[in-house]
Amino acid sequence: MFRKAASVTLVLLLGACVTQAPVFDAGTPCKTASFTVVDGFGGARRGRCEVVAADHVRLSIRPEDAGYINPSPWYSFQLDPFEATTAVISLHYTNHKHRYIPKISTDSLSWSALDEKNVQVSDDGSLATIIVPLGTDAVWVSAQELVMPAIYEVWTSHTAERTDAELELLGYSMAEQPIRYLVSNPSAKDVLFLVGRQHPPEVSGAFGFFSFTETLLANTEVARRFRTQFQIIAIPLLNPDGVLDGNWRHNRGSTDLNRDWGVFKQPETRMVGELLDRLDAEGKRIRVFLDFHSTDRNVFYTQDETVPTDPPNFFERWFSRAAPRLSDYAFTNDAGPGENPVVGKNYMYRRYGVPSATYEVGDETDREAARQAAAVFAEELMGLMLETLAESR
Ligand SMILES: [Zn+2]
């Protein structure tokens, strides 16, 4: 009799424990007793949110679509507290592994990396548990800083105002966001062509792009001289829809833009192709192409000796000029034949035969170091391009 009563009590207790935890789909504010997990802002990606306890939620972090995708598991959400607490967030990745150290901000403009003692990753990488102290203010938690299309709008117009560059409209993305570019000295025949942010999560590359372009347009002796000889075309944000959607890789058309060059099925890449056609028709000549990205380290993907560039040995010369000035910025040069013709740098090499590189900045490279290094690379690139132009005349 005693035994039976005990088992009935146990059943009742278990029944209470297995009450379904509240679950909120992506796009719906996810409320615990202590805070709300919000994903209603540009760049957000939170996925399904399951309330485990008053201070604990479990998020299902998934990519934008089912197509092939690189492992760039972007997440971004806001914790809006009802009371001071310590939030425990479990990031659960389906078929992917945790990659980005969480970045924290209370204004979505200035960011710091979450202390590594507050991040625990499972052995197989599929689960990361992060601890975020919350006071009274909302806190953004994001795979990388939120560098959204609105920030590019400010940066491009500000840069055009304070330099000799003009701001031009390339056209509109699939979701009808403007894609702009800066152009300096459009009458010059020889062109340096830069592209950025084909891949939404690759924010460290964006910091490189900003600094590189600012250095090209600066009021320094070498930059002024460079701009008398060369035209600069700089497209900072080729995939604004993917950035706004918080995508891991694709544009609104479920396509990796850096696998669409020459194919030009997507509006964003097609407009670049049309700009190149116009430049060709005007008798302009692309001399160097750089495409800014992020990966796990600082690296330049370039042509190797099996695919000679005009001028030859350009990258060897560029990097040997820059390296002595970059003692605290480790980088490598992975050179290869560049066989995939639909990648931007390979397409540009095949079309023009000129040095064409993917400029990769490490995911967690210190942002100021990335900016300073980009300035050095830009200065040495200008010096080298001026030299090679003089040699060719
Ligand atoms: Zn990339």
Q: How far is the CA of 373 from the centre of ligand 1 (A)?
A: 19
CA distance 1 to 64: 57
Ranges assigned E (strand) in 76-136 = 76-81, 85-93, 103-105, 112-113, 119-121, 127-134
Q: How far is the CA of 198 from the centre of ligand 1 (A)?
A: 7
CA distance 248 to 71: 8
Q: Which class would CATH give 2-142?
A: mainly beta
Sign (positive or negative) of CA dihedral 83, 86, 89, 90: negative
149-392 homologous superfamily:
Zn peptidases (3.40.630.10)
Kindly give the confidence (pLDDT) of every residue in the chain, 393 residues in length, as a single tens digit, with 9 standing for 90 and above.
Answer: 344 444 445 444 444 455 678 999 999 999 999 999 999 999 999 999 999 999 999 999 999 998 777 889 999 999 999 999 999 999 999 889 999 999 999 999 999 999 999 999 999 999 999 999 999 999 999 999 999 999 999 999 999 999 999 999 999 999 999 999 999 999 999 999 999 999 999 999 999 999 999 999 999 999 999 999 999 999 999 999 999 999 999 999 999 999 999 999 999 999 999 999 999 999 999 999 999 999 999 999 999 999 999 999 999 999 999 999 999 999 999 999 999 999 999 999 999 999 999 999 999 999 999 999 999 999 999 999 999 999 887
Judge contact between 190 and 231, C-beta under 8 A: yes
Q: How far is the CA of 222 from the centre of ligand 1 (A)?
A: 30
Closest Cα partner for 34 from 58, 51, 17? 51
Q: Looking at this protein, which amino acid is placed at residue 332?
A: T
CA distance 112 to 230: 38
Q: Ligand 1 being an ion, which residues bring their Cβ within 5 A of it?
A: 199, 202, 293
All structural domains of the chain with their residue ranges: 2-142, 149-392
CA distance 264 to 189: 25
Angle at 115 between CA 56 and CA 123, to 5 degrees: 65
Residue 276: CB partners within 8 Å, gap ≥ 6?
286, 351
CA distance 104 to 115: 10
Q: How far is the CA of 242 from the centre of ligand 1 (A)?
A: 12
Distances (CA, A) of 3 to 7, 9, 12: 6, 10, 14
Q: How far is the CA of 53 from the centre of ligand 1 (A)?
A: 37
390 CB-side CA count, 13 A: 8
What is the value of pTM for the model shown? 0.94
Residue 331: CB partners within 8 Å, gap ≥ 6?
297, 298, 299, 300, 319, 373
